[in-house]
Structure 1
Amino acid sequence: MAELNTGGDGGKGGKVRSKKSNPGVDLTAMVDLAFLLITFFMLTTSLSKPQSMPLAMPDKTEQPDSDKDVMPIDESRLMTILIGKDNTILWYVGKFTEPKVEPTQSEFGKEGIRKVLLEQIARAKAYVKRDGGKPDEHLIVNIKASDKASYRNLVDILDEMAITHPQLYAIGDITEPEVKLLEEKGLL
């Protein structure tokens, strides 16, 4: 412990006065306690982990050898979501040339695309049950983002997939006719 000595006669003669003791505070114990608390909280606190969504992507080098590797999908189970500019969505069911449900504009959120997804999942389940399909065959969603779509919109639609749980979803490339459709609707 360090002490500060401020008294003494300084070499001058005169009266001898009693030394006044200066009050001193020893901070050594408080500093030790502070470091112990900091160390304790650093070791016991869990660090926040980044949140990420698993996304399985196919290997680009692996291509189907023949038509036997390609599995046919019933058109009524295939839903395509097109993401345009300014948080806009266009969706349809079936093939682009012969849609089972015509292209319809929607918005993000609980009352928008989530409601549509839940309705289409229920419709696909009813279709499979009615037409004698396999019970695990449900809605398959193909997500296609245009060049004008924002990254946030793609993440938002992936969040909707995580919430609604379709059987399968994939991110695909948007085709030229789909781009023209978005332009016609004013979404590109």
Structure 2
Amino acid sequence: MENLPKKVRSKKLNTSVDLTAMVSVSFLLIIFFMLVGELSKPKGIDLSLPNNEPICNPIACIDGNRLYTILLDDDDKIITYSGLLRYPVEIPKEVKFGKNGIRTEVFLKKKEIFEYMSALGKPKSGVIIIIKPSEKSNFKNLVDILDEMKIAKIDAYAIVNEFTPEESNLLASK
């Protein structure tokens, strides 16, 4: 019995997983998703509170004197007015595309409203332009107007496709 080979028992090693790298990766992922979530939030525009003839909705109130509306129609026709059409700051007028047309008008309106708001002590509140293309206007006209907004460095503008009855009548008459 002495010659029998002894059973060799293998030593059982303690297996342990080092989770240090996993913790580092998880913290990096948490930081990444928090940063992406914060950066993807929509940015709002400071519309300031009005002084005369406010336009209020559930979100904010704005001074009607800051509004400048551009109506686009067929045959490259542009009609502009300041303020509300019911209480216009200046009467609606027809202008043309180009450097001596709508571009000059936008620059003048930007300067005029800047001076008006500076006098009220709110120099950071500038012009708000509302662009309203009609169903008859073409896509090129809309792109041209957006180019003019970029050239004039207009920060606050909106494209709206709803016409008031007064605006529809104005387009039909001119």
* TM-score interval (norm. to shorter): 0.5 to 0.7
Equivalent residue in structure 2 for 1:177, among 146, 166, 169? 166
Amino acid of the structure 1 residue aligned with 2:124: D
1:104, 1:184 → 2: CA distance?
Answer: 12
Quickly say closer, same or farther: Cα 1:131–1:183, change in 2 above 3 A. same
Does the 8 Å CA contact 1:137/1:167 hold for their aligned counterparts? no
Does the 8 Å CA contact 1:93/1:100 hold for their aligned counterparts? yes
Match in the other structure for 2:139:
151
Q: Which of the pair has more CA radius of gyration?
A: 1
**Structure 1, residues 82-141: CA drift from partner, whole Å, max 9, x if none?**
001100100000011010011010011110000000000000110011122x22100000
Structure 1 or 2: more strand by fraction: 2
Does the 8 Å CA contact 1:79/1:91 hold for their aligned counterparts? yes
1:104, 1:158 → 2: CA distance?
Answer: 20
Match in the other structure for 1:97:
86
Match in the other structure for 1:136:
124
Superposition deviation, residue 162 in structure 1: 0.6
Superposition deviation, residue 166 in structure 1: 1.8
1:166 aligns with 2:121: no
1:150, 1:122 → 2: CA distance?
Answer: 29
User: TM-score w.r.t. structure 1 length?
Assistant: 0.60
Does the 8 Å CA contact 1:80/1:91 hold for their aligned counterparts? yes
Alignment gaps of 5+ in structure 1: 1-55, 57-66
1:181, 1:68 → 2: CA distance?
Answer: 25
1:106 aligns with 2:98: no
1:102, 1:166 → 2: CA distance?
Answer: 22
User: TM-score w.r.t. structure 2 length?
Assistant: 0.65
1:96, 1:146 → 2: CA distance?
Answer: 16
Pairwise CA RMSD of aligned residues? 1.9
Quickly say closer, same or farther: Cα 1:181–1:68, change in 2 above 3 A. closer
**4+ residue stretches of structure 1 with deviation over 6 A?**
none
1:154, 1:68 → 2: CA distance?
Answer: 26
Match in the other structure for 1:124:
113
Superposition deviation, residue 77 in structure 1: 0.7
Match in the other structure for 1:82:
71
Aligned residues: 120
> Identity of paired residues, percent?
39
